[in-house]
Amino acid sequence: MPNVGSPYVVVRARTTKLKGDMDDAHSVVSSSMDKIANAFKVAAVAAAAAFVVMSKNILTLGLDFEATMKTVQAWSGATGESLQALTDIAREMGATTEWSANQSAEALKFLAAAGFTVEQSIAALPATLDLATAGQVDLAAAADITTDTMTAFGLEVEELNRVNNAFITTSSSTNTSVLMLGQSFKMVAPTANVMKVSIEKTAAMLGALASAGIKGGQAGTGLNAIMLKSRKAADMLGIEYEGVVETIRAMTTAGWSDIEFLKAFGLEHIKTAAALVAQFKNFDNLTNKIKENKTATQDLAEIIRDSLGVEIKELESIIQDKMLDVFDKVKSSLREIVTGMTAWIDKNEELIEQKTDEAIDKIKTALTATWDVLTKLKTFYDALPEGSVSVGLIGVI
């Protein structure tokens, strides 16, 4: 046997240590490789899950946009190139503004419902988006408000900016909003048009009433009644009728008493008349402001868009536009698959019914067997002497 200090012992000891070090290194490397492999597995699963979610989002987004444009087609009567032009403008707005393509398509629906032609809808959409942004309302509401107002006043699409500016200047200068003004205009616009009252003067009167605490549908209803009764008031004064505000001013100048105002406008609407009298100065200033400010909507929309929140919305719209690009590329293939599956189902109805019946029979058999077992257990339990189950359980515990 070699001595303890011999070269053999030294080599043997060093070899043993080297083997141990190698084993340790192998263990570390093996553990690291396992961790790397597991990490790749997790990454692969996460990537697959993300792909599934993204695919579902693309499909949902594409189908929603397609369905909305189908409604636009039905309401506008657009086909071929005209339908493509509507689709293109919706996609363009989705790619360049904070409003998505589908939201833009929803606005096109309202424009079509209001009787706008394809060309008018295309021309009106950008301005409608500006109103929605500046007025802080959704696109559908903006389209509804502008089309209702333009129709009531008999205005052409070229005057859409004029309508928008009346709404934005009034809502940003008085105690009201675009939505509340929209409610007011619905009640008074047809009468204002018949009585030759401009949209600017109508908006200014509604703004003046809003500053006096009368707004929304109440303001529209009250102003509508005042307009209708103002001719009678002019006759009572013995003057030529020149307009609502002019008549009320003449009544005030003539020193009419509350009783005379009451006779002219009635108990229900005397409050509206009194509010206009109190707001004459505001009415004059606001009327001039509305007429002079030709770019109110675009200016306010530009200010609002210069913010992180809107920029995030713009990014979302751009991403959705790219998702729609993907949907367009796979749509025809998906349609072929769906058509093929539908045709196969139609051809194999008997086979499907047979397999369905077989599956139902198997489920019935399994349920019957389960019921038999439960019945036997109940019978066994009922046959036990009273209290034996409890004793058995106590013994187990």
pLDDT band at 41; cut points 50, 70, 90:
low
- 146 has pLDDT over 80: yes
- 190 has pLDDT over 80: yes
Same domain, 68 and 124: no
Please tell me the predicted confidence (pLDDT) of residue 367.
82
- 14 has pLDDT over 80: no
End-of-domain residue from the set 47, 75, 103: 75
End-of-domain residue from the set 75, 90, 107: 75
pLDDT band at 119; cut points 50, 70, 90:
very high
Q: How far apart are CA 265 and CA 276, in angstroms?
A: 13
Q: How far apart are CA 145 and CA 203, in angstroms?
A: 13
Q: How far apart are CA 73 and CA 75, in angstroms?
A: 6
Same domain, 122 and 246: yes
Residue 108: inside a domain, yes or no?
yes
- 42 has pLDDT over 60: no
The predicted model gives 145-164 an average pLDDT of 93
Same domain, 8 and 95: no
**Averaged pLDDT of the chain:** 82
Please tell me the predicted confidence (pLDDT) of residue 174.
94
CB within 8 Å of 216: residues ≥ 6 apart = 176, 180, 183, 184
Same domain, 55 and 126: no
Which tokens sit at 319?
A: 């991403």
Same domain, 121 and 224: yes
Same domain, 297 and 173: yes
Q: What is the largest CA-CA distance in the chain?
A: 143
Residue 334: inside a domain, yes or no?
no
- 58 has pLDDT over 90: no
pLDDT digits (tens, 9 = 90+) for 216-246: 999 999 999 999 998 888 888 888 888 888 8
Same domain, 147 and 229: yes
Please tell me the predicted confidence (pLDDT) of residue 393.
40
Please tell me the predicted confidence (pLDDT) of residue 52.
54
Residue 252: inside a domain, yes or no?
yes
Residue 154: inside a domain, yes or no?
yes
Share of the chain above pLDDT 90, in %: 44
Residue 318: inside a domain, yes or no?
no
Same domain, 124 and 210: yes
Environment class of residue 314 by beta-carbon count within 10 Å: exposed (0-12), middle (13-18) or buried (19+)? middle
Q: How many CA atoms lie within 13 A of 254 on its CB side?
A: 17
**Among candidates 280, 300, 305, 133, which has minimal Cα distance to 204?**
280
Same domain, 235 and 354: no
Residue 321: inside a domain, yes or no?
no
End-of-domain residue from the set 75, 93, 114: 75
DSSP string, 222-240: HHHHHHHHHHHHHHHHT--
With contact defined as beta carbons under 8 Å apart, do 276 and 205 qualify? yes
pLDDT band at 26; cut points 50, 70, 90:
low
pLDDT band at 377; cut points 50, 70, 90:
confident
pLDDT digits (tens, 9 = 90+) for 354-376: 778 778 878 878 888 888 777 87
Instruction: Look at the chain and report how many structural domains it folds into.
Output: 3
* 3-class DSSP assignment, residue 305: helix
The predicted model gives 82-107 an average pLDDT of 94
Same domain, 269 and 121: yes
Q: How far apart are CA 357 and CA 349, in angstroms?
A: 12
Please tell me the predicted confidence (pLDDT) of residue 57.
78
pLDDT digits (tens, 9 = 90+) for 274-298: 888 888 888 889 999 999 989 999 9
Please tell me the predicted confidence (pLDDT) of residue 175.
92
Please tell me the predicted confidence (pLDDT) of residue 166.
96
Please tell me the predicted confidence (pLDDT) of residue 128.
95
The predicted model gives 290-308 an average pLDDT of 92
Same domain, 251 and 113: yes
With contact defined as beta carbons under 8 Å apart, do 141 and 182 qualify? yes
Same domain, 143 and 184: yes
Q: Which of 129-143, 200-214, 360-374, 379-393 has the lowest mean pLDDT?
A: 379-393
Residue 329: inside a domain, yes or no?
no
pLDDT digits (tens, 9 = 90+) for 345-356: 777 777 777 778
pLDDT digits (tens, 9 = 90+) for 240-279: 888 888 888 888 888 888 888 888 888 888 889 888 888 8
CB within 8 Å of 49: residues ≥ 6 apart = none
Cα distances (angstroms) measured from residue 144 to each of 96, 330, 378: 22, 34, 67
Residue 312: inside a domain, yes or no?
no
Domain that holds residue 2: 1-75
